[in-house]
Amino acid sequence: MRRVVFTCLVFFVASAANAAEWRLQRVDAPARVTGIETVDGEVRAYTGGLWYVVTGKDGDTSLGFKDTLKWPKLPDGALPDSKLAVGRHDIARAWLAEPTDRYDHGVLGDKIEAGSLVIETRDGKQQSVKLKPDAVFEDLAPRIADLEGDGHDEVVVVKSYVKRGAALAVIGERKGKYDIVAETPPLGAPQRWLNPVGIAPFTGGGKADIALVRQPHAVGALEIWSWTDSRLQKVAEVEDVTNHVSGTRALDMSVVSDFDGDGIADIAIPSFDRTRLRIISFAQGAHDIANVPLPAKAATNLGLLKGVTASAVALGLADGSLVVVERAP
């Protein structure tokens, strides 16, 4: 990889929650940064028609150009522009399939959604979870996680009802067959959507929690749903966030990491107006670890850069700039 280092402008801001200093770096790029993707933990920024690798370690951030970058290949029949999910236990892979136009929404840039989810187990066998005509999978990337801590994977995906709006669905194996085993109540009307954030024990109890943003374009509520006894239960909610720009395929405008070093996962996510980056903890009650003003509105996915002492967040802004936010040494 040819390493290309650009000038960084550094600003210091204080967290509204605890007055800790957080550093925002504006990293010069060859052209406007219009996209960020993370592949196998590697953060990549799209600028000037090329992809660069974003690297950062404790304040030293740079862009490096690779002549060739590997991208995951979708299986035949997968939903166009969707992403392949890889599991750690009994599910090897999962992907969205059976493109359909039966739901007229288009929040993800077109009006083609998925009618089924394909699950491939470790033994190479495949099963399809097919939806009835009253719903679609309005998503681009299924999420695989062991929600019950029993060594068996589940899949988390957005299911949207044609007449009742979106719900969060959990797909698990029951008696050798994969099917939807739980879902949140649908949002109540067509074209009401939700976007998952991540899966981790956010509340510190050791059990799996699922974080999502309810209606990121109209409401902007960050919700935590606990998975307990094979059921979903909402346990926390914070207002004034978003993790998607309507009409785009950038669903990852949030990242999960332990930003304050307490051993419990936190969430970095833009404010609803996308002018600030909030880092939120749900340990011992919801509170902001940091609330960092941005020079322009957040416009891309967020990328997580893990340094030696702390995690940093890379994101592209509406003015085309690339910035990195991290706790100051």
Please give the structure tokens belonging to residue 118.
Answer: 């394909």
Nearest alpha carbon to residue 217 among 237, 239, 194, 188: 194
Please give the structure tokens belonging to residue 11.
Answer: 């600003």
pLDDT digits (tens, 9 = 90+) for 158-211: 999 999 999 999 999 999 999 999 999 999 999 999 999 999 999 988 889 999
Distances (CA, A) of 24 to 9, 11, 29, 59, 292: 8, 5, 16, 10, 8
Residue 12 has pLDDT above 60, yes or no: no
Residues 6+ apart with CB under 8 A from 132: none
Distance CA 168, CA 135 (A): 12
Residue 9 has pLDDT above 70, yes or no: no
Distance CA 183, CA 158 (A): 9
Which of helix, strand or coil describes residue 290? strand
115 in Cβ contact with 97 (< 8 Å): yes
Which of helix, strand or coil describes residue 102? coil
pLDDT of residue 147: 95
The two counts, helices (H) then strands (E), for the chain are 0, 27
**Burial (CB count within 10 angstroms: exposed 0-12, middle 13-18, buried 19+), residue 295:** middle
Per DSSP, 186 falls in state: P
pTM over 0.85: yes
324 in Cβ contact with 24 (< 8 Å): yes
Q: Which residue has the higher pLDDT, 315 or 28?
A: 315
82 in Cβ contact with 168 (< 8 Å): no
Residue 122 has pLDDT above 90, yes or no: yes
Distance CA 253, CA 235 (A): 22
Provide the Cα torsion 257, 259, 313, 254; round to 10°.
50
pLDDT digits (tens, 9 = 90+) for 213-253: 999 999 999 999 999 888 999 999 999 999 999 999 999 99
C-alpha angle 168-87-57 in degrees, rounded to nearest 5: 95
Enclosing H/E stretch for 137: strand 135-137
